[in-house]
C-alpha cells in the first residue's frame, strides 16, 4: 500500500517507472505471481488487441484481422524513492498482437511461467522474447508440488539455450516470486555486458 502519501501542497514528483513482463499460457499463475509481490491488489484494465485471423490467406484476400478486448493485469513494487517497478501480465492468449509490443517495449526483462503439464503453452512467449532479444528467465510454477520432469527434460522441451536461466518457484509465495524476479533482473544485467 502507498503508506507515504502526505498531502503536501507542492506538486508531487513522479518516480521513474520501469517494468517487467510476466508471460506464460492461460491459467499458469501469472496473476497469482503478480499478486504475491505487488504492493497493490493487481489491477485490471481492458485493452484492445489486434490479432491476425488464422487460415485466411486465400488468394486476393487480405488476412482477416480481429480486434479483441483483453484484460491486462498488473501490479506495482516501489523499489526506492525514485523508481517504481511495474509487473505486467501478458493477456492469456496464444496469439500476438500490437499489445505485445506495448507490453515489452522498454521492459527490463521477462519471466516466462511454465506449467510442466502444458509446456507448449509458453512456446509463443519464448519465441517472441528471443526474437526481440528481451532478457528472460523461465520459471516453473510448482503449485502442484514437485515438477514431473527434470530440469534437463524441461530445458530440452523448451529448446532454450544454457544462457536462459530456469528456476523453480511458487507463484503463491512472495519470497519465491521475489527470487524469480531477481533472477530476471540479474539476467538483464548480465545481458548488458
Give SS3 for 178: helix
Q: What is the DSSP string of 99-139?
A: HHHHHHTT-SEEEEEE-GGGGGGGHHHHHHHHHHT--EEEE
59 binds other proteins (CB under 8 A): no
Q: What's phi and psi for 42, nearest 5 deg?
A: -50, 135
Binding range to other proteins, per CB under 8 A, among 16-24, 58-66, 111-119, 160-168: 16-24
Site for other proteins in 149-178 (CB under 8 A): 174-175, 178
**Residues listed for the chain:** 193
Give SS3 for 153: helix
Taking CB under 8 A as the criterion, the residue among 27, 63, 106, 153 binding other proteins is 106
Q: What is the DSSP string of 22-78?
A: EEESTTSSHHHHHHHH-SSPPEEEEEEEEEEPSS---TT-PPPEEEEEEEEEEEEEE
Give 71 or 151: the residue with its C-beta nearer to other proteins.
Answer: 71
Give 16 or 150: the residue with its C-beta nearer to other proteins.
Answer: 16
Nearest distance from C-beta of residue 163 to other proteins, angstroms = 17
Question: What track of x and - describes contact with other proteins for positions 113 through 142 (by CB under 8 A)?
Answer: ------------------------------
62 binds other proteins (CB under 8 A): no
Q: Which residues bind other proteins (CB under 8 A)?
A: 2, 5, 11-19, 37, 43-48, 72, 74, 76-80, 82-86, 88, 102-103, 105-106, 108, 174-175, 178, 181-182, 185-186, 188-189, 192
Amino acid at each position: 500500500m502507498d503508506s507515504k502519501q502526505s498531502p503536501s501542497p507542492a506538486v508531487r514528483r513522479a518516480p521513474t517507472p520501469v517494468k517487467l513482463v510476466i508471460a506464460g499460457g492461460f491459467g499458469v499463475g501469472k496473476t497469482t505471481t503478480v499478486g504475491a509481490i505487488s504492493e497493490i491488489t493487481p489491477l485490471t484494465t481492458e485493452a484492445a488487441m489486434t490479432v491476425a485471423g488464422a487460415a485466411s490467406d486465400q488468394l486476393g484476400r487480405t488476412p482477416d484481422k480481429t480486434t479483441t478486448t483483453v484484460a491486462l493485469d498488473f501490479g506495482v513494487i516501489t523499489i526506492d524513492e525514485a523508481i517504481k517497478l511495474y509487473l505486467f501480465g501478458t493477456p492469456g492468449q496464444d496469439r500476438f498482437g500490437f499489445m505485445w509490443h506495448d507490453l515489452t517495449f522498454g521492459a527490463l526483462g521477462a519471466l516466462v511461467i511454465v506449467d510442466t503439464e502444458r509446456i507448449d503453452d509458453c512456446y509463443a512467449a519464448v519465441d517472441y522474447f528471443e526474437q526481440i532479444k528481451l532478457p528472460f528467465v523461465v520459471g516453473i510454477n510448482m503449485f502442484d508440488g514437485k515438477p514431473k520432469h527434470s530440469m534437463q527434460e524441461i530445458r530440452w522441451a523448451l529448446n532454450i539455450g544454457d544462457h536462459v536461466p530456469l528456476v523453480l518457484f511458487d507463484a503463491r509465495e512472495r519470497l519465491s516470486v521475489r527470487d524469480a524476479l531477481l533472477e530476471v533482473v540479474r539476467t538483464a544485467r548480465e545481458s548488458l555486458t
